[in-house]
């Protein structure tokens, strides 16, 4: 039996912060796990370093399911994004090790390819409609078959989802910026600009839109109804999912497909949404939801209700997490789509390998394990620097949902 001899937490910031768990075995196998939680990076790093790493030493790295349950059920405090991101990092590193020992890519260990490649969507955004259409055209130029479109709302300064510079990067400040939000302005404008994007795109290209939990259930129903003719692939996060039953109201009023879950992290957070068929796509990610071991259970459960996967895949999940997502996406029966924002070039100085993008699809690496390596020497050049997402307030100063 091989044993875990070291578990180290590494932090780097090649333009943004990434937290990585490195597990080393007595046989000299190294596994990499992603532990990046945007804006709470150091909390997860401490959770791992102070409370999880010591528990791993001496354990058999082959026993993934057992270690997962030890860290979830065996710990008094369970669930929550910080816990589930920490557990995910361990899980990803152990799958990486298992693949390297077996000399197989992780998707083979999970049952093998259920499709040729993984359909992805990317982001297009603009401060106004002409800028958005330019960005949509650029995404088409790169071959994307599914595009998420977000435009600035006139009169609403700093609308979420609109890029700054070359890359969409809302986590841009050492302390959170304050931005404005105006629901009525958004509801008047969004259906109109999405219509313009729909007309601009070839009909076979899928159009997605992210609402970022900004609406009440009734407002979301109104929005969903107003864009039904556009046949959106989905409207994302129409309202917070803290009350899972509130999606019933949206569902009873509109046939616009619904995706949710990027801020959720366990099967319990989406159980009712799935079992009552209140959503069409579940957006939990490998990195924030307990890794491959837990997310596979969520997707298998969703399969029973014809709910498909649509995992969160922003550039604030590291390339290790993104690689893990693509391995899992390859193997499940109810895969829907995978978000893929891509990374600034500088990120590839630290993370080598990973899935290959071509023509709107990602293909996992055939290298053993997750197929991605972390360059510790390169990583050491990029020191942690705090970066926070903005906070939104309404005209009267009330804090609004993210």
**Residue numbers at the binding site for ligand EZ4 (CB under 6 A):** 38, 170, 210, 262, 312, 314, 316, 339, 389
Is residue 316 a contact residue for Co ion (CB under 5 A)? no
**Contact range with Co ion by CB under 5 A, out of 130-138, 214-222, 262-270, 378-386:** 262-270
Q: Least distance (Å) from Co ion to the CB of residue 316?
A: 11
Least distance CB 129 / Co ion (angstroms): 21
User: 261-274: b or e for each residue (b if 16 or more CB lie within 10 Å)?
Assistant: bbbbbbbebbebbb
Size of the site for Co ion (CB under 5 A): 2
CB-nearer residue toward ligand EZ4: 259 or 302: 259
314 binds, among Co ion, ligand EZ4, none (CB under 5 to 8 A by kind): ligand EZ4
Say which entry of Co ion, ligand EZ4, none residue 182 contacts (CB below 5 to 8 A, set by partner kind).
Answer: none
Catalytic entry in 123, 168, 186, 212:
212
Residue ranges of alpha helices (H) inside 205-331 are 217-226, 247-251, 267-275, 291-303, 319-331
Note if 123 is an active site residue.
no
Could you give phi then psi for residue 399, rounded to 5 degrees? Answer: -70, 135
DSSP secondary structure, 305-321, as one string:
TTPEE-----TTS-HHH
Q: Which is nearer to ligand EZ4, 316 or 329 (CB)?
A: 316
Q: How many helices (H) and strands (E) does the chain have?
A: 13, 17
**Chain residue whose CB lies nearest ligand EZ4:** 314
Nearer to ligand EZ4, 67 or 298 (CB): 298
Helix, strand, coil percentages, rounded to 5, for the chain:
35, 20, 45
From the CB of 132, what's the least distance to Co ion, in Å?
17
Measured from the CB atom, is 209 or 294 closer to ligand EZ4?
A: 209
210 near Co ion, rule: CB under 5 A: yes
Q: Applying CB under 5 A, does 169 fall inside the site for Co ion?
A: no
Instruction: Pick the catalytic residue from 121, 160, 343, 374.
Output: 160
Phi, psi of 251 (to 5 degrees): -60, -35
DSSP per position, 359-381: TTEEE---SSBTSEEE-HHHHTT
User: Of the two residues 108 and 122, which places its CB atom closer to ligand EZ4 in the complex?
Assistant: 122
End-to-end CA distance of the chain: 47
Q: Residue 144 CB, nearest distance to ligand EZ4 (Å)? A: 15
Cα–Cα–Cα angle for 124, 129, 133, rounded to 5 degrees: 45
Given ligand EZ4, Co ion, none, residue 38, with its beta carbon under 5 to 8 Å by kind, binds ligand EZ4
Nearer to Co ion, 52 or 279 (CB): 279
Query: Is residue 160 flagged as an active site residue?
Result: yes
Least spacing, CB of residue 295 vs Co ion, in Å: 17
| Part in contact with Co ion (CB under 5 A); list of ranges 23-31, 147-155, 208-216, 327-335 | 208-216
How many angstroms separate the CA atoms of 320 and 364, rounded?
12
CA 291 vs. chain centroid, Å, equals 12
Q: Token digits for 86?
A: 């920490």
Minimum distance between the CB of residue 17 and ligand EZ4, rounded to whole angstroms?
11
In angstroms, the CA 214 to CA 235 distance is 12
C-alpha dist (Å) from residue 385 to 41, 98, 161, 176, 345: 10, 33, 22, 13, 19
Residues at the contact surface with Co ion, assessed by CB under 5 A: 210, 262
| Residues marked as catalytic | 160, 212
């Amino acid at each position: 039996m091989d044993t875990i001899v070291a578990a180290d937490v590494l932090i780097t910031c090649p333009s943004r912060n990434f937290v990585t768990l490195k597990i080393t075995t007595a046989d000299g196998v190294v596994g990499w796990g992603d532990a990046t939680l945007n804006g709470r990076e150091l909390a997860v790093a401490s959770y791992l370093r102070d409370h999880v790493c010591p528990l791993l030493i001496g354990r058999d790295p082959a026993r993934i399911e057992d270690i997962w349950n030890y860290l979830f059920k065996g710990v008094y405090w369970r669930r929550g994004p910080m816990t589930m991101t920490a557990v995910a990092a361990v899980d990803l590193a152990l799958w990486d090790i298992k693949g390297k020992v077996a000399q197989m890519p992780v998707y083979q260990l999970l049952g093998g390819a259920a499709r040729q490649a993984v359909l992805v969507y990317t982001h297009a955004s603009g401060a106004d409609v002409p800028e958005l259409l330019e960005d949509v055209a650029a995404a088409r130029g790169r071959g994307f078959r599914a595009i998420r479109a977000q435009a600035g709302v006139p009169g609403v300064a700093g609308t979420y989802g609109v890029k700054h510079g070359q890359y969409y990067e809302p986590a841009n400040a050492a302390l959170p910026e304050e931005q404005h939000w105006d629901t009525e302005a958004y509801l008047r404008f969004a259906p109109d600009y999405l219509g313009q994007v729909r007309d601009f795109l070839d009909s076979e290209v899928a159009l997605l839109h992210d609402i970022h939990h900004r609406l009440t259930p009734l407002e979301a129903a109104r929005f969903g109804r107003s864009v039904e003719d556009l046949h959106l692939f989905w409207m994302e996060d129409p309202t917070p999912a803290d009350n899972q039953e509130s999606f019933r109201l949206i569902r009873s009023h509109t046939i616009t497909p619904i995706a949710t879950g990027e801020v959720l992290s366990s099967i319990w957070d989406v159980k009712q949404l799935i079992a009552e068929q209140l959503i069409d796509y579940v957006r939990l990610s490998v990195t924030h939801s307990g890794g491959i071991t837990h997310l596979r259970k969520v997707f298998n459960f969703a399969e029973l209700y014809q709910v498909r996967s649509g995992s969160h895949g922003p550039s604030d999940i590291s390339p290790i997490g993104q690689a893990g997502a693509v391995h899992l996406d390859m193997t499940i029966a109810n895969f829907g789509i995978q978000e893929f924002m891509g990374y600034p070039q500088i990120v590839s100085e630290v993370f080598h390998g990973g899935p290959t993008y071509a023509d709107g699809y990602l293909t996992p690496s055939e290298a053993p394990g997750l197929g991605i390596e972390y360059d510790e020497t390169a990583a050491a050049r990029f020191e942690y620097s705090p970066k926070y997402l903005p906070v939104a307030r309404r005209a009267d100063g009330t804090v609004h949902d993210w």
